[in-house]
Amino acid sequence: MLRIVFLLLCVTFVEGGAIKPIPDKVAVNTQKAALGKKLFFDPLLSKDNTVSCATCHVLEEGGDDGLKYSFGVGGAQGSRNAPTVLNAVFNFRQFWDGRAKDLKAQAKSPIVNPKEMGDRFKPIIEKLQHHPEYKKRFNSIYPDGITSENIADAIAEYEKTLITPNGAFDRYLKGDKTAISKEAKHGYALFKEKGCILCHNGVNVGGNLFNRFGVYHDANGTDFGRYNVTGREDDKYVFKVPSLRNVARTAPYMHDGRFKKLRDAVSFMTEYQLGRYMEPEEIDAIVAFLETLNGTLPSNRSIRP
């Protein structure tokens, strides 16, 4: 009798299509995107004209900066690891604590964060107003010209283009059975079997729910995470489950960048989140699978700033 019950449970587990390939293209307004690109790379948006979006989100290096914590204007250091900008469009909320509901809402934040770009919108708008090209382009796109909303909108529009389709695993999903190694295939099976897939699913392999950091053990975190946003006791140590796309490129790991190696991160996750033990070969196989999640980095030429 017990057996029957668990068989039923098992059926739900084997359900296919848990991970979807990244689409080749996301529809964008190219004019806005072009303007957004210019803004993304322009340190003008920072208080001392030294830091741009691209300072921390280095596109060639996986959409982040490879640092535990990023440095903002005047050398100020942040308190969370910079998440990648790549494929961020597919996340259901932005930031580790999910406080921004979309890219546009997110884009405003680093600009005015004193530890990041440390600027305010009023002087930025003034700076842009004195820049004839920005003035012209904003006016041609937006009826109300240069505003904080429109700046964020343009940047968000550009960020929509920062996707990494055509990864080896996506090709595999699309039917190319040779696209990934046997070990990686084994890793994918383990990924599903061991329960990783329960949180890391969908297009972005994660990024579509929150969960507690340290379920079976205390993860020794100092950051209350989502509690800072909601104030609910239940939300303490709760973070957005991050996307595993390009995960091999986005070390260090965790919201506090505590692991430099992917293997360590996987091992930690197994124990703390899944409450399991995995053999080292199994962890290797999963890492091999995760490495197939690297997609084609967005071409810098796709959008002209």
Partner 1 sequence: MKQKLGNWQKSTERFSLLLSFFFLLLLGLAGYLVKINQDIKNYTEYHHTLNEMRTLDYKLDNCFSQLYRYINYDKTAMLEKKFESALTILQEKNGKLAYGKALQARIGEIAQVYTKKKTYFEDFKALNARVTNSLHFLYDMRKTLEKRLREGSYQAVLVDNIFFGISQIVMNIPSNDKKISQQLEMLSHTQTNRHLGYFIQHSRQFLNDAAKLKKVQKGAKKIPLRQKINLLLDDLTQKYEKDRRYQEDIAFGFFSFAFVILALLIFSYRRIRQNTRELQAFRYAIENSDNAIMLTDTQRHIEYVNEAFEKYTGYSKEEVMGKDPRILKSGLMPREAYDDMNETIGRGEIWQGELINRRKDGSILYEKASIVPVIMEGEVVKYLAVKLDITDYKEQQQRLKQAATVYRTMGDGVLITDKEKRILSVNPAFVNIFGYTEKELIGSKPMVIKTLEEDAYFFHQVWSQLLAKDRWSGKLYNQAKDGTVLPIWLTLTVVRDEKGEIENFIVIYTDLQEIMATQERAEFLAYHDSLTKLPNRAYFDLHIEDFLSFADIANEKVAIFFIDLDRFKVINDTLGHGIGDIMLKELSKRIRDVLDENMLFARIGGDEFVIVARLKEGRKEAAAIAETVLSLIREPVQASNYTLNTTASIGIVVYPDDTKNKFDIVKFADSAMYAAKEGGKDNYHFYNEQLSQNVQLRLDMEQEMLHAIEHNEFSLVFQPQYDLHTYKIVGMEVLLRWKNRKLGTVLPDAFISIAEETGMIVRLGYYVLEQACLTQARILKMGFTLETVAVNVSAIQFRDENFIENLKQILKRTGIPATMLEIEITERFIMEYSTTNMTILEELRGLGCRISIDDFGTGYSSMSYMKALPLDTIKIDKSFITELPYDMHDVEVCKAIIALSKSLGYQVVAEGIEKREQEVFLKENGCDVGQGYYFARPMPEKEFVTFLRKHHSQL
**Which residues, at least 6 apart from 248, have a Cβ–Cβ distance to it below 8 Å?**
262, 287, 290, 291, 293, 294
279 interacts with partner 1 by CB under 8 A: no
Member of 129, 140, 176, 215 binding partner 1 (CB under 8 A): 215
Of the candidate spans 143-151, 158-166, 208-216, 255-263, the one that interacts with partner 1 by CB under 8 A turns out to be: 208-216
Cβ proximity of 257 and 81 under 8 Å:
yes
In angstroms, the Cα distances linking 184 to 204, 216, 304 are 18, 27, 37
d(CA 259, CA 249): 13
Rounded to 10 deg, the angle between the 280-291 and 182-193 helix axes is: 110
Annotated active-site residue in 116, 159, 282, 291 = 116
Residue closer to partner 1 by CB (options 35, 156) is 156
Annotation says 116 is catalytic? yes
Least distance between partner 1 and beta carbon 97 (Å) = 12
Contact 267, 283 (CB under 8 A): yes
Residue 101 contacts partner 1 per CB under 8 A: yes
Give the separation between CA 101 and CA 215, rounded to whole angstroms.
25
The mark string for 114-133 relative to partner 1 (x by CB under 8 A, - otherwise) is --------------------
Asked if residue 244 binds partner 1 (CB under 8 A), the reply is no
Q: Is 215:248 a contact under the CB 8 Å cutoff?
A: no
- Asked if 216 is part of the footprint of partner 1 (rule: CB under 8 A), the reply reads yes
Say whether residue 277 binds partner 1 (CB under 8 A). yes
Of residues 245-264, those binding partner 1 (CB under 8 A): none
Taking CB under 8 A as the criterion, which residues in 3-32 touch partner 1? 5-6, 9-10, 12-13, 15, 17-18, 20
Tell me the closest approach of the beta carbon of residue 283 to partner 1, in angstroms. Answer: 17
- Site for partner 1 contains 2 (CB under 8 A): yes
197 binds partner 1 (CB under 8 A): yes
Q: How many CB atoms lie within 10 A of CB 300?
A: 12
Length of the chain: 305
Tokens of 40: 């993304």
- Residues 166-195 close enough to bind partner 1 by CB under 8 A: 195
From the list 26, 105, 141, 198, which residue makes contact with partner 1 (rule: CB under 8 A)? Answer: 198
Size of the site for partner 1 (CB under 8 A): 37
- 98-118 in b/e form (b: 16+ CB < 10 A) is bbbeebbebbbebbbeebbbb
Q: Which residues pair with 70 in a beta bridge?
A: none
**Contact present, 205 and 21 (Cβ < 8 Å):** no
Site residues, partner 1 (CB under 8 A): 1-2, 5-6, 9-10, 12-13, 15, 17-18, 20, 92, 101, 195, 197-199, 201-204, 208-212, 215-216, 230, 232, 234, 238, 274-277
Q: Annotated active-site positions, please?
A: 116
